[in-house]
Structure 1
Amino acid sequence: MSTEKTEDKRHLRSVKTRQKLLDAAKNVFLVEGFQKATISQMIKQAETGYGTAYVHFQGKEDLLSVLMENVMEQFYEIATISFLPESKEEAVRTIRQQCLAFLKLAEAERSMMQVFEQAIGISSVISDKWKAIREKFIQRISMDIAYSQKHGLARTDLSPEITARGWFYMNEMYLWEIVRHEHRQPVEEIADTITALYTTGLYK
């Protein structure tokens, strides 16, 4: 067997083992929560050895960080929907669609998001990971605001970054309320209301 084929098999085995560990970690986190979950439970469920597991992940925080990235990438895909509006109406329509999709995804991913919220309050590693994810969203929103300002659709006296930060914080607050089952209004009504608040203040 050629060295190249051997390397390919090793790589494939490595990828499969990593995914097995992530799948097992997700199952354990969903059952036990972040605090009670242990790396031993995950390794046992993945049917792999400790040495092999630690080649891929340093511990349960590392596993949860990757799971958080994977889930939040779905949210980020919403934020990166093509935003090239030619009118205020088109901008508002797109922003409302993004907001609604973002909040509905919070509903769909509620169980895992509950684990993330618990971990953010306990682990500095996970808290820092969430802060980094938040900044990624804010920078993307800032770009969309700057585009609207450049094309004469939005007020230019407002800082794109400060405005983006305020908009994300509003969405984030409702995201966690939805995750905790604390929201009192339908998600559609929340999306309509906060989009109107945001766009009325920003767009001409």
Structure 2
Amino acid sequence: MASSRKQKAIETRERLVKAGEAIFLEQGFQKTTIAQIIKKAETGYGTAYVYFKNKDELLIELMQTMMNFFYQVSELSFEPSTKEEAKELIVYQTKEFLSLAISYKSLMQVIKEAIGYSNAVEDQWTSIRLRFIEGITNDITYAQTQGLVAKDINPHYAAKSWFYTNEMFMWEFVCSKEKDDLDVVINTITDMYINGLYE
């Protein structure tokens, strides 16, 4: 019985998440209501609120699931022994990062909208941003131990500047109607970053 109840709970939660994603993508964050999600998931209000108290929590669940793919890219091994190796790794990570954002374009647009209206979603995005910056900081610190980056460079602030550059272009690719060339953007910003940071 316990196993059956657990399975039913998992299925109910999945239905709510799928329903929430469908309505968010169709209507955007502001126009979506938790009542619409519950109706589409064909579950009761009392049951639904056991899992998500509002649409903000449900979107955060979707964000976390999506961001796991981004984390896999950002947390790839980074142990270059030369400036050229560092550039090759950074180009690869940057392309994977921006390509993932483009592949999740519709959901990313919902998140961008939600950041302006939901403190909970904004806090979640801040947490995501800090995790990326911490990873980049560690990479720069490693490069310093290898003599590839000057010791007087502050790894944290260098990491913040690199992440914010990527984040800006990410939102442009996701939200702008203009079609910038992905490879040109990646090569340009990576050259600026590498030449400004690596010796």
- Which interval holds the TM-score relative to the shorter structure? over 0.9
* Residue equivalent to 1:31: 26
Using the alignment, how far apart are the partners of 1:76 and 1:27 within structure 2? 24
Query: Given the alignment of the two structures, is residue 101 of structure 1 paired with residue 96 of structure 2, yes or no?
Result: yes
* Aligned 8 A contact 1:25 1:63 in 2: yes
* Aligned 8 A contact 2:56 2:121 in 1: yes
* Residue equivalent to 1:3: none
Within 5 Å, give how 1:160-175 maps onto structure 2. Answer: 160-175=155-170
**TM-superposition CA deviations, 1:85-115 (whole Å, max 9, x none):** 1211111100000011111111111100000
Query: Given the alignment of the two structures, is residue 191 of structure 1 paired with residue 174 of structure 2, yes or no?
Result: no
**TM-superposition CA deviations, 1:59-103 (whole Å, max 9, x none):** 100001111111122112110111111211111100000011111
* Residue equivalent to 1:48: 43
SS of 2:116 mapped into structure 1: helix
SS of 1:122 mapped into structure 2: coil
SS of 1:156 mapped into structure 2: coil
Using the alignment, how far apart are the partners of 2:48 and 2:13 within structure 1? 8
Specify every segment of 5 or more residues in structure 1 that has no aligned partner in the other structure, as ranges: 1-5
Within 5 Å, give how 1:51-90 maps onto structure 2. Answer: 51-90=46-85
Counterpart code for 1:20: R
Report the more deviating stretch, 116-125 or 69-78: 69-78
Normalising by structure 1, what TM-score? 0.94
Query: Given the alignment of the two structures, is residue 202 of structure 1 paired with residue 174 of structure 2, yes or no?
Result: no
Using the alignment, how far apart are the partners of 1:154 and 1:36 within structure 2? 48
Normalising by structure 2, what TM-score? 0.97
After the TM superposition, which parts of structure 1 deviate over 2 Å for at least 4 consecutive aligned residues?
181-185
Taking a change above 3 Å as real, the CA distance of residues 158 and 183 of structure 1, as seen in their structure-2 partners, is farther
Query: Given the alignment of the two structures, is residue 137 of structure 1 paired with residue 150 of structure 2, yes or no?
Result: no
* Residue equivalent to 1:16: 11
Counterpart code for 2:52: F
Query: Given the alignment of the two structures, is residue 114 of structure 1 paired with residue 109 of structure 2, yes or no?
Result: yes
Which of 141, 144, 148 does residue 143 from structure 2 map onto? 148
Which of 111, 123, 126 does residue 128 from structure 1 map onto? 123
Using the alignment, how far apart are the partners of 1:10 and 1:123 within structure 2? 33
* Aligned 8 A contact 2:173 2:180 in 1: no
SS of 1:14 mapped into structure 2: helix
Using the alignment, how far apart are the partners of 1:139 and 1:125 within structure 2? 21
SS of 1:85 mapped into structure 2: coil
Report the more deviating stretch, 179-188 or 33-42: 179-188
Compute the RMSD of aligned alpha carbons.
1.1
